[in-house]
Structure 1
Amino acid sequence: AGEWVVDELEAVNDKTGQVYFTGRMDTPLERHLYVTDLEGSKPQRLTDRDGMHGISFSRDASIYVDSSSTANRPTQVSLHSADGKQLTWLEENALDENHPLTPYLSDWVEPEFGTITNDDGIDLHYRLYKPAELKGKHPVIVYLYGGPHAQVVNNAWGGNRGLLMQHWVSKGYVVFSIDNRGSNYRGKAFEEPIYKAMGSVEVDDQVSGVKFLHTLPYVDKERIGVYGHSYGGYMTLMSMFKAGDYFKAGVSGAPVTTWRLYDTHYTERYMGNPNTDSDAYEASSVFPYAEGLQGPLLIYHGMADDNVLFTHSTKLYKHLQDAAKPFEVMDYPGKKHSIRGKQTGIHLYHTITNFFDRHFDVK
């Protein structure tokens, strides 16, 4: 679509010639519904509320269901006619006195969104939570993912992890995320630098984010940690191993450690054939950089993970042990990639939080 990304073709009305699609014409941080026609007229936005919209049309394209949220508004579900007019709420999910979130709204911190420019002159979107009361220098947790076809910085409800970030902010942490090159909804030119080069420009852009944090008067640059899961776990390792001067402690969840062990259909799309592109695979593995580990590192993994196999972590455990590099471990027997289960999730979030509290001296 030129300067912006089309997410999905949602419906076509054969009788009127109208075409309905979701995209990012207004901002990469929000998904909206637009309508145009088969002649290519200028798209008109139909969704009037801010945020992220998931659309499901009827077969005749006469009505649709809109599931929408923002970073500060949980998901609401509404029914609309094809011209965008709301017909009724299906689930208003209003933040009234009966909502389970209401008792905590007085302490709710709204994120700030902005952009920085990296060393290559490319604008990167960030999200920043800061404590309501700024007193002196605050520690930071950088939450990242960084991989292709994914986005962290957006105006959408954050679910359990978003609530975890609110908890961190209430303890005095600054919580920061930035979408590096290689991530989604910025177009092909923004994503393609990681082709056959995973773990490279992503780290550079995350470092650009930390350099920005260094300019904030309330940030303690000696207490900047990093946390991610899956590709984010891989990115945590790469950030700790390659940029330890910037990232002082890290939590790596279910990390890929070598792309030779990951799903072929995913990996070869971005990394090529391991038989003909072996140098790229070696450069994108965490092992060549592990000697660079400086700060405290916690690795956790579900031992029944059928996505990123547990052997990714055990190979790294041995490698770090052989290099006499200290690290911490919390593995979850019987758990798969997402470490599901209410009590297990509570245990995991406590483990992550306690790790940063200990190493950053947060009470």
Structure 2
Amino acid sequence: VQSRNQQTLQLFGYDVATQLSTTLLTEHSNTWLNLHDDLHFLNQQDTFIWASERDGFKHLYLYRTNGELIRQLTSGDWVVTSIAAIDEDTGIIYINGRKDTPLESHVYAVDMQTSSVQRITELGKHHDVKFAKDASIYVDVFSDINTPAQTGLYFANGQFITWLDENKVSANHPLAPYASEWIAPEFGTIAAPDNTQLHYRLYKPANISGKHPVIVYHYGGPRAQVVTNKWGGNRGLMFQYWAQQGYVVFSIDNRGSYYRGKAFEDPIYKAMGSIEIEDQKLGVDYLRTLDFVDPAKIGVYGHSYGGYMSLMAMFKAPDYFAVGVSGAPVTEWRLYDTHYTERYMGSPNTDKAAYDAASVFPYANNLQGELLIYHGMADDNVLFTHATKLYKHLQDNAKLFHVMDYPGKKHSIRGKNTQIHMFKKITHHFDTYLK
């Protein structure tokens, strides 16, 4: 049971015979609790496994069914993302986690008796796995930033069995004609003022001579991550195209994003649109030190929370970002999903100042650069009202901007030709105003 302010969670046990409930455990946070479904009761003994962020990182704990804590099963400055499977006969828990690097998801075998943790999957890849019910085998869909997803079948110890979809980039593969011009991005870190390391990804144009415009792509919000060693899908191919067309393409995961522990997430509490922009500015400060970057031609692009970030970047840091693209943006948090928003922002009734400061409207009059806003008119996640309220505000203040709305489209602007249109429009905007 979660409290209304999402800072306390209680796990109850219910006795069917007596119809009485008892509190097995209580979790509390001074900011918010991230919900999960990692609760597993063991069949062969009166115990269960529970996940908690009580030590700052999501880890596993072993409890008796009366609520007595037996021991912590995993620990360290890394996160368990989920329980993949449990083999009670061997006493092994198979978990998805980020122990080796936050940029890759791996499967680890955790010994319930010794708490030893052993990586099963290959380093240098990002793995999405599904175990059989008896935890004997698993399907692994894995990729890296330069290699599209491959699917294999493996024994629980990581031994390869067979390909389900090798998807090898051979002569007949759709990517083969583009292999010779493929640009592999670089990864690195930048230190924030508190010495927190922020991970970035950087695509350099093939011809690095001269000064180049930059497209900064970001998301920036909670429970999400942009900088990963994982195949990027359609958007990743778009980054590749932009780099081949002479753009520098850059992303940095600011504080507030996921898989780095609770202290990394918490700075956005009741302060959305603040620390995220400061960290994105740190990224631009780094870009300005590179000889091949034109510091006057830096653009920004994001969708959903990233669209909100693009607006805040253009409005709060006009000296950093000359051109912006904002897709399906939240513009006013009072208009968004209650459970999501109040988790990070508190109640609009008691935290009015925080909501006011997190809205884009107090800063919109600072718009100087060329801003494109696009939105699905049937968006049932971030309602189209977010966009129209901003349109009116900018019009009322005589601020010029660009619009592309998609009739009948929801939050992700799906549909092959529609997505082609969307990416062509975004590219045209940057080509027109940033190159």
State the TM-score bracket (shorter-chain normalisation). over 0.9
Runs of 4 or more, structure 1, over 6 Å off, are none
Is 2:144 aligned against 1:59? no
Which position in structure 1 is the counterpart of 2:169?
95
Q: CA deviation at 1:40?
A: 3.5
Q: Alignment partner for residue 22 of structure 1, among 71, 84, 96?
A: 96
Shift of 1:41: 3.0
Task: Report the Cα distance in structure 1 between the residues aligned to 2:115 and 2:195, rounded to whole angstroms.
Answer: 33
Structure 2 counterpart of 1:165: 239
- Greater alpha carbon shift after TM alignment, 153-162 vs 37-46: 37-46
Distance apart, 1:245 and its partner CA: 0.3
Which of 342, 350, 353 is matched with 1:276 structurally?
350
Question: Which residue of 2 is the match for residue 187 of structure 1?
Answer: 261
In 2: Cα distance, 1:160 partner to 1:250 partner: 20
Q: Which residue pairs with 1:146 in the alignment?
A: 220
What's 1:342 paired with?
416
Give the structure 1 partner of residue 21 of structure 2. Answer: none
Task: Tell me the SS of whatever aligns to 1:160.
Answer: helix
Q: In the alignment, what sits opposite 2:298?
A: 224
Superposed CA offset, 1:199-218 (max 9, x none)? 00000000000000000000
Equivalent-residue separation in structure 2 for 1:338 and 1:100 (angstroms):
25
- 8 Å Cα contact 1:119-1:208 kept in structure 2: no
Per the TM alignment, residue 290 of structure 1 is displaced from its structure 2 partner at its CA by 0.6
For 1:286-328, what per-residue CA distance to the aligned partner results, in whole angstroms no more than 9, with x for missing partners? Answer: 0011111111100000001000000000000010111111101
Distance 1:165 1:275 in 2: 42
The equivalent of 1:298 in structure 2 is 372
Provide the residue aligned with 2:321 in structure 1. 247
Which residue of 178, 184, 187 corresponds with 1:110? 184
Deviation at 1:122, TM superposition (A): 1.5
Q: Do 1:182 and 1:192's aligned partners in 2 also have CA atoms closer than 8 Å?
A: yes
Percent identity between the aligned chains?
66
User: Which of the numbers 329, 332, 342 marks the counterpart of 2:406?
Assistant: 332
Shift of 1:170: 1.0
Q: Which residue in the other structure is 1:121 paired with?
A: 195
2:209 to 130, 135, 156: 135
Question: How far does residue 132 in structure 1 lie from its aligned partner after superposition?
Answer: 1.3
Distance 1:234 1:360 in 2: 20
Distance 1:342 1:64 in 2: 32
**2:142 alignment partner in structure 1:** 68
Question: Amino acid of the residue matched to residue 235 of structure 1?
Answer: M
Which among 312, 315, 333 is matched to residue 238 of structure 1? 312
In structure 2, the residue matched to 1:39 is 113
Q: Per residue, is there more strand in 1 or in 2?
A: 2
Contact 2:322 2:434 in 1 (8 A): no
Shift in Å, 1:42: 2.1
Q: What is the SS of the residue equivalent to 1:164?
A: helix
Give the Cα separation in 1 of the matches to 2:218 and 2:110: 36
Matches within 5 A, 1:299-318: 299-318=373-392
Taking the aligned partners of 1:289 and 1:315, their CA distance within structure 2 comes to 14
Give the structure with the higher percent helix.
1
Aligned-pair distance for 1:48?
1.8
* Corresponding residue number in structure 1 for 2:52: none
> Deviation per CA, 1:214-239, whole angstroms, max 9, x where unpaired?
00000001000000000000000000
1:135 Cα deviation after fit: 2.0
In the aligned structure 1, how far is the partner of 2:331 from the partner of 2:416? 28
Q: Within the alignment, does 1:7 sit opposite 2:81 as a pair? A: yes
User: Structure 1: how far apart are the matches of 2:299 and 2:248?
Assistant: 10
The answer for the alignment partner of 1:360 in structure 2 is 434
Cα distance in structure 2, aligned partners of 1:48 and 1:99: 24
RMSD: 0.8
1:120 to partner: Cα distance: 2.8
